Amino acid sequence: MTESDSSPRRSRSRRRRRARLRRVLLSSLVVGSLLLGVAGWVGFRGWQARAHLVNAAGLAGELSGHLVGGDTARAQRTLAALQEQSGAARRATGDPGWWLGRQVPYAGSNLSAVRQIAIAIDDLARQAFPALLQVDLGGLVPSEGRLDVSELHAVTAQLGEVDATVRRTRSELAAIPDDRLVGQVRQAVVRLRGEIDRLAELTSAADRASRLLPPLLGADGPRRYLLVSQNPAELRATGGMFGAYAVIEANKGRLKMGAQASSASFDAFTKPLKVPAEVRALWGDLPGIYPADVNLTPHFPTAAALYREMYRRSTADTVDGVLAVDPVALSYLLRATGPVRVPSGVELTADNAVKVLLSDTYQRMDPADQDTFFAAASAAVFDALFARKIATNGLLAAFDRSVQERRILFWSARPEEQRTFGDSRMTGILPEQDAVPTVGVFLNDGSGAKLGYYLRQSADLTVGDCHADGRRELSLRVTLRSTAPASGLSRSVLGLARSGDPYSVRTLVSVYGPAGGAVLDSRLDGAETAVATGTERRRQVATVNVEVGPGARKTLEVSLLTGKTGSGDAQLWLTPTATPWTTQVVTAPSCSQ
pLDDT tens sequence across 437-452: 999 999 999 999 999 9
**Is pLDDT above 50 for 23?**
no
Residue length of the chain: 593
Handedness of CA 531, 532, 533, 535 (dihedral sign): negative
Residue 246: which residues within 8 A CB-CB, separation 6 or more?
226, 227, 257, 258, 259, 260, 261, 375, 378, 379, 382
Domain with CATH 2.60.40 in the chain: 432-586
Q: What is the pLDDT of residue 36?
A: 34
Query: Model confidence at 220, in pLDDT bands (50, 70, 90)?
Result: confident
Q: What is the pLDDT of residue 217?
A: 80
What is the pLDDT averaged over residues 248-263?
A: 86
Edge to edge, the sheet with strand 321-325 lists 254-262, 241-251, 223-231, 321-325, 409-412
What is the pLDDT averaged over residues 126-134?
A: 79
What is the pLDDT averaged over residues 541-569?
A: 95
- Number of neighbours of residue 146 by Cβ within 10 angstroms: 13
Across 102-111, 112-121, 147-156, 312-321, the highest mean pLDDT is recorded for: 312-321
What is the pLDDT averaged over residues 505-517?
A: 97
Between residues 132 and 25, which one has the greater pLDDT? Answer: 132
Q: What is the pLDDT of residue 558?
A: 98
Contact 298, 442 (CB under 8 A): yes
Q: What is the pLDDT of residue 50?
A: 65
pTM as predicted = 0.79
**Is pLDDT above 70 for 248?**
yes
Share of the chain above pLDDT 70, in %: 80
Q: What is the pLDDT of residue 137?
A: 62
**Is pLDDT above 80 for 4?**
no
Contact 327, 232 (CB under 8 A): yes
The span from the CA of 442 to the CA of 436, in Å, is: 19
Backbone angle region of 411, left / alpha / beta, with phi > 0 → left and psi within -120 to 50 → alpha? beta
Average pLDDT over all residues of the chain: 83
Q: What is the pLDDT of residue 397?
A: 79
The span from the CA of 347 to the CA of 341, in Å, is: 4
Query: Model confidence at 35, in pLDDT bands (50, 70, 90)?
Result: very low
What is the pLDDT averaged over residues 505-520?
A: 97
Q: Is 543 helix (H, G, I), strand (E, B) or coil?
A: strand
Specify the CATH number of the domain 223-420.
3.40.630
Residue 519: which residues within 8 A CB-CB, separation 6 or more?
511, 513, 533, 540, 541, 542, 558, 559, 560
Burial class (CB in 10 A: 0-12, 13-18, 19+), 531: middle
**Is pLDDT above 90 for 122?**
no
Domain with CATH 3.40.630 in the chain: 223-420
Between residues 498 and 140, which one has the greater pLDDT? Answer: 498
Identify the CA nearest to 114 among candidates 46, 168, 167: 46
What is the pLDDT averaged over residues 380-398?
A: 78
Q: What is the pLDDT of residue 210?
A: 73
The span from the CA of 234 to the CA of 125, in Å, is: 46
Torsion of CA 56, 58, 62, 68, to 10 degrees: 90
Contact 55, 125 (CB under 8 A): no
Residue 118: which residues within 8 A CB-CB, separation 6 or more?
49, 52, 53, 86, 89, 90, 92, 93, 94
Between residues 34 and 470, which one has the greater pLDDT? Answer: 470
**Is pLDDT above 80 for 497?**
yes
Between residues 99 and 428, which one has the greater pLDDT? Answer: 428
Which of 102-106, 213-217, 252-256, 381-385 shows the lowest mean pLDDT across its residues?
102-106
Which contiguous run of DSSP H or E holds residue 475? Answer: strand 472-482
Between residues 188 and 369, which one has the greater pLDDT? Answer: 369
Q: What is the pLDDT of residue 374?
A: 82
Between residues 523 and 44, which one has the greater pLDDT? Answer: 523
Contact 448, 496 (CB under 8 A): yes
Residue 419: which residues within 8 A CB-CB, separation 6 or more?
none
Between residues 487 and 140, which one has the greater pLDDT? Answer: 487
Beta-strand relationship, 438-445 and 505-512: antiparallel
Contact 559, 526 (CB under 8 A): no
Residue 266: which residues within 8 A CB-CB, separation 6 or more?
291, 310, 311, 314
Q: What is the pLDDT of residue 382?
A: 80
Beta-strand relationship, 553-561 and 571-574: unpaired
What is the pLDDT averaged over residues 525-550?
A: 97
Query: Model confidence at 55, in pLDDT bands (50, 70, 90)?
Result: confident
**Is pLDDT above 90 for 173?**
no
**Is pLDDT above 80 for 22?**
no
**Is pLDDT above 70 for 41?**
no
Between residues 208 and 405, which one has the greater pLDDT? Answer: 405
Query: Model confidence at 502, in pLDDT bands (50, 70, 90)?
Result: very high
Can you list the pairs that 354-362 forms with residues at least 24 positions away whose Cβ atoms lie under 8 Å?
354/327, 354/328, 354/578, 357/327, 357/330, 358/231, 358/232, 358/233, 358/327, 358/450, 358/452, 358/453, 358/578, 359/233, 359/453, 359/493, 362/233, 362/450, 362/490, 362/492, 362/493
Q: Which CATH architecture has domain 432-586?
A: Sandwich (2.60)
What is the pLDDT averaged over residues 40-66?
A: 62
Which of 213-222, 317-326, 554-563, 573-582 shows the lowest mean pLDDT across its residues?
213-222
Residue 249 Cα to chain centre, angstroms: 29
Backbone angle region of 400, left / alpha / beta, with phi > 0 → left and psi within -120 to 50 → alpha? alpha
Share of the chain above pLDDT 90, in %: 47
